[in-house]
Chains A and B, each alone.
Chain A
């Protein structure tokens, strides 16, 4: 509790708080699903980074990842789960509150 008072941002979900993962979550929040090419273009991450961060989010149950083979190549589609959507909404709400608190006092 003391640590939270000293650093209120510590209350934020650390899994989403990383810029790359926040970017992936935000991009997926506004769509139903997107493949890795689309996500890579919008997040500017490398294939390795995108894959690693998406795997971490999937491990936490925030993302659903579907792999298929199209024209002998792996085609990966990612989708935000209900849990992931709720986690981002909570993160966003909390962040807004903290920023408002900071700016008002």
Chain B
């Protein structure tokens, strides 16, 4: 009985199912981190300007595809829900915060690609190796977003993702291996988790297209 009248938990459970139940958010994050693992290679191959354009386009592509997939899968399997004003307000604040961080990320990528970032050449490359300032900023944006999600929504696996991502950069600097290895590993783990959640989602929430509503 107690669980049924714990409204905060009920609200969280509804939001978690609607927003994270299908594993698409995990797949988006995992694939973006995986992509970052190729950053040192593509930077060498394309140069800073083309690389910035390539990365922004690729991340946009991942977000676009996973959003389309979610819209296609969600309504027939988990249904449609409209949240109240409190949740909508919270979601709006989170979206604004995300948009501000992404705008900062794009600005840094742009400045860096044009070579306008203060001290971007020798100073930063001595400190960051093949990674540029734009990469570090993008990485910090992801860590802040993932950590924020874990904290505000109580999605436990996101705390693990946050720790995993936070460990990537220092590990990468400390280990004498290909610069993208830790990001490929972290991205691989998160993408696998997303794929497992998606598989479970298919089993747990079969399509209700053939339902008989009375």
Contacts and interface: CB of A to CB of B under 8 A. Distances in A.
A37 B80 contact: yes
A31 B79 contact: no
Contacts of A33: 81-82
B121 interface: no
Interface residues of A, number: 29
A47 B212 contact: yes
A12 to B, nearest CB: 11
Interface stretch (B2-10, B51-59, B107-115): B2-10
B149 interface: no
B69 interface: no
Interface string B155-196: 000000000000000000000000000000000000000000
Nearest to A96: B5
A47 B211 contact: yes
Contacts of A95: 1, 5
B211 A37 contact: yes
Contacts of B209: 73
A52 B81 CA distance: 20
Q: For chain A, what secondary structure do more than half of its interface residues adopt (helix, strand, loop), or is it mixed?
A: helix
B10 A41 contact: no
B118 interface: no
Q: Which of A33, A38, A40, A92 has the most CB of B within 10 A?
A: A38
Contacts of A35: 79-81
Contact of A34 (B80, B87, B208, B213): B80
Contact of B81 (A34, A51, A75): A34
A34 B79 contact: yes
Interface string A10-54: 000000000100110011011111111111111000011001000
A103 interface: no
Size category of the binding interface on chain B: 20 to 34
Interface string A60-93: 0000000000000111110000000000000010
A46 to B, nearest CB: 10
A32 B83 contact: yes
Contacts of B76: 37
A27 B211 contact: no
A95 B1 CA distance: 10
B140 interface: no
B50 interface: no
B111 to A, nearest CB: 42
A30 B14 contact: yes
Interface of A: 19, 22-23, 26-27, 29-42, 47-48, 51, 73-77, 92, 95
9 contacts: A31-B14, A31-B82, A33-B82, A36-B79, A38-B17, A40-B79, A47-B211, A47-B212, A76-B213
Given A29-B10, A31-B83, A38-B14, 16 more contacts: A22-B4, A30-B11, A30-B83, A30-B84, A31-B82, A34-B79, A34-B80, A36-B79, A38-B18, A38-B78, A40-B208, A41-B79, A47-B211, A47-B212, A73-B211, A77-B80
